[in-house]
Amino acid sequence: MTAEPDGAPWRRLDTRMIAVTPLSGALRLLPVAVLLLVTRQGDVVGRLWVPLGIALALVIAGVVRWRTTQYRITADRVELHTGWLRRQRRSVPRDRIRTVDLTSRLVHRVFGLSVVQVGAASGSSGDGAGLALDAVSKTEADRLRRELLDRSAAITPERPARAPVDELARLRWSWLRFAPLTFSAIAGSGAVFAAAFNLFDDLGVDPRDVPGVDDAAHCLTAAPIWLGVLVVSGVLVVVAVIGSLLLFAERWYAYRLTREATAEGGALRVRRGLLTRRSLSVSERRLRGAEVVEPILLRAGRGAQTRALATGLSRDAQGGALQPPAPRAEAHRVAAVALREHPGLATRAPLRRHPRAALRRRLTRALLPAAALVSIAFAVGVAVPMPWLGPASLVLLPAAMALAIDRYRNLGHQLTARHLVMRQGSVQRRTVALQRAGVIGWTFRQSVFQRRAGLVEVEAVTAAGAGGYPVLDVAAADGVAFADATTPDLLAPFRARSAR
């Protein structure tokens, strides 16, 4: 290690990454090697030449990567230097760090390593939005996590900090019942099924050659159409349910949500995973709120999922997730505990209804497209001819009306002592508790139709989460008063200017 004038030494990644990098690449190339051997084109040495050459290149790349990667942590910044042919210099101010994510895939776990992902608020192009250290030892990863989230603590390898830990939630296997009700799990099962089918296709294996498959297919084709559709649908549902249960178990195994005390106010930590272990730490000082998400299937099962609102979190489906899909009451409890608030003053706060004009807007926006589709269905049914198509499409009208009414019933907002609470959505209902101190601006939108109905959309702008959270179709006067009451100091200059 070398040191700069400020005394902070440059460190290298763990030497075991030299083995991890080529091994991870070799595992991804394993299907290619199997395919070359199975196709039996050329002699055995010739078929193995390509995979062996690629493996050698991966080993060389791993050594070069280790030799050209250095990082250091100063009092003010985290710096990472990488690359040989294409050099990169990344620097993140420590006061912009919001999250520290530790990930250990199966290969990393075998060698006792972790990947440290530092999430930060977006700044200039020089600051970047974070960086990743791949890979460091588990002990070093945990030390870095504590050091980066608690700047005031002097943490050294010789004297690692042991902060008090308060457990907020842990996995209950009864929550497995919510796994088949999540879109991501079902989509993941479909992806696994498609990957298996493609593998069979690449290997030249016809599924019909499997004993019993051809006979089953013949029976289905000979059976009535409705029976064949019913059987195929049942098989797909069974595959989706089994896949979703396996994905849930792999993703949320050993889940724990804890709070660690720090000199800067504490940090929330989520640990989970079976094959891939993951640990996400969010500084409470940077936490701006919590969100309870209820996709329509999960909502039908009275389930929900809680996510943190903070900068530096991933924007994917699991970004900022504080818990797995769980009972709705548990999700609201976790949101309140994470915010150090009573549920009745956070996501469980009683919400104010929106004007009846908002219901009319939702009925109009739902019924007009549905009526257009019904008209098209009747026209197509006469032209084809398919006389049943038009009458069958009439089911869209009551479905659209029910969706519009549900969307209106889910509209609501409330202002508590510390939080701005908003709820909207039907296919995916979201209840957001946003800290009033985290609101940095307001956006008012009003279309021609909203103006005629006396409604306005008021969006609270924040640096966390999605960046903005709207209150839809509130009365114009109430929207302005609501924004003014949330952040009076922010709108006061505009009121004074308009009064002149």
Give phi and psi for 91, each to the nearest 5: -140, 125
Whole-number Å distance between alpha carbons of 380 and 388:
10
Strand residues in 248-323 grouped as ranges (E): 256-260, 267-272, 277-283, 289-295, 303-309
Kind and range of the H or E element at 298?
helix 296-300
Whole-number Å distance between alpha carbons of 277 and 109:
8
Whole-number Å distance between alpha carbons of 379 and 198:
40
The per-residue pLDDT for 19 is 82
Whole-number Å distance between alpha carbons of 203 and 192:
17
Kind and range of the H or E element at 396?
helix 396-409
Give the helix, strand, coil percentages of the chain, each rounded to 5: 50, 25, 25
Q: What is the pLDDT of residues 293-335, one digit of tens each?
A: 999 999 999 999 999 998 777 666 567 899 999 999 999 999 9
Spatial neighbors of 212 by CB under 8 A, at least 6 apart, are none
Reported residue count of the chain is: 500
Tell me if residue 316 falls in helix, strand or coil.
Answer: coil
In DSSP notation, 159-198 reads S-----EEEEEE--GGGGGGGGG-HHHHHHHHHHHHHHHH
The per-residue pLDDT for 34 is 59
Indicate the pairing of strand 289-295 with strand 439-445.
Answer: unpaired
The per-residue pLDDT for 125 is 38
Look at the block and give the residue holding tokens 């019933």: 409
Whole-number Å distance between alpha carbons of 104 and 14:
14
Residues of the chain with pLDDT under 70: 1-7, 25-52, 122-129, 151-163, 184-218, 220-223, 226, 228, 263-264, 314-318, 491-500
The per-residue pLDDT for 123 is 46
Query: What one-character DSSP code corresponds to residue 95?
Result: G
Kind and range of the H or E element at 312?
none
Q: What is the pLDDT of residues 264-303, one digit of tens each?
A: 678 899 999 998 899 999 988 889 999 999 999 999 999 9
Cα angle: 204, vertex 206, 209; to 5 degrees: 130
The per-residue pLDDT for 97 is 85
